[in-house]
Amino acid sequence: MASHRKPRTRTVGPRTAPVAGITTAALTSIALLSQTATAAPSAPPKPSLEEVQKKVDTLYHQAGVATEKYNAAKERTTKQQKRVGELLDDVAQRTEKLNKARQELGTFAAAQYRTGAVSDTATLLLADDAQDYFDQDQLMSRLTSRQKQAVDDYQTEQAATTKKRTEAAKSLETLTTSQATLKSTKRDVQQKLGDARELLSKLTAEEKARLAAIEKRKQEAARKKAEELARQQAEAEAKRKAAEEARQKENPGTGTGSGTGTGSGSGYATKAAKVIAFAESQMGKPYVWGATGPDSYDCSGLTQAAWKAAGITLPRTTWDQVKVGTTVTTADAKPGDLVFFYDDISHVGIYIGDGKMIHAPKPGANVRVESIYYMPIHSVVRPA
């Protein structure tokens, strides 16, 4: 059956305007978003290689300072652990003595309880004879004196044990603090070294090559300064020998002398030769922070081990090593002397002559020979 509905007429005009309006709004939104994106802050510019080099050097320096703090904290912790152990052993021994003294007092108390408190008159009357009484009285006098001594011993041990227990408790508190410092400085070292590695890892192969060229120029400048110092020292030594020879001609029988300056005699030279021989035998071994050998070293660990080979015991850290011996000028430096660097005295090397030293430089490097002018010099110390 056919439909009687009137067909609808499609109207195109009225729907055109809303579509156009939506399109305009969308375009406007896109434009605004584009403007917002353009206004957003751009990424910071990539640092120059010189800035990267400076930052890495600073991080290594800071890691060196933190390493010396770690070494100091580790040394304190080791000493305190030993001290706490000794105190606890002492407390245990004193406690044992105290228990023995307490047992002896208990024996006297039990004896007194069994005999009871009997008067001297009653004892005399109950005695078989007078001599027996006087013998017992003398024994009681000795027993009373011995008892008094036992009481005195107990009181002395009790006071000493209490004192040692208090001392041990304080040492344990100090040890806990030192262990916390040890952990904190260890984290600090690891953080600095991690930051340095991250910076270097972001460099391209070309940038690393350019960075190596910057390092080479720095080493070359330091080498030239070392050569100049060697020239000056050679001239000074030649003048000293000439003056000595002139003295010998004027006064033949006065001996050849033993050199000039503190610790510059044959005794020091012999020790220094052993120090340098040891340091040379360690060349090529890696720098590891906190290490004292024999497979790896940090800077002060190497100097400590080298001088130990010559029979001289140095402290563990650069801050303590710089205080041992006599300070001399850089111009007067002799083989075996310790050269300290930076205002904070966070690095040290062993002078071998001609403006050079053997040292454990930094993470990623091995024990090597280098100009003492590679870093800013703080002081030169002659340990023995």
Distance CA 46, CA 52 (A): 10
Distance CA 202, CA 296 (A): 28
Would you say 66 and 192 are in contact if contact means Cβ atoms under 8 Å apart? yes
Backbone angles phi, psi at 380, to 5 degrees: -125, 130
- Choosing from 4, 61, 299, 378, which is the catalytic residue? 299
Distance CA 194, CA 157 (A): 55
Residues 6+ apart with CB under 8 A from 246: none
- Choosing from 4, 61, 347, 378, which is the catalytic residue? 347
- Choosing from 4, 61, 359, 378, which is the catalytic residue? 359
Decide if 378 is catalytic. no
From the DSSP assignment, how many helices (H) and strands (E) are in the chain?
Answer: 8, 6
Backbone dihedral region of 278: left (phi > 0), alpha (psi from -120 to 50 degrees) or beta?
A: alpha
Which residue, among 240, 309, 253, has the nearest Cα to 280 in the 3D structure? 309
Residues annotated as catalytic are 299, 347, 359
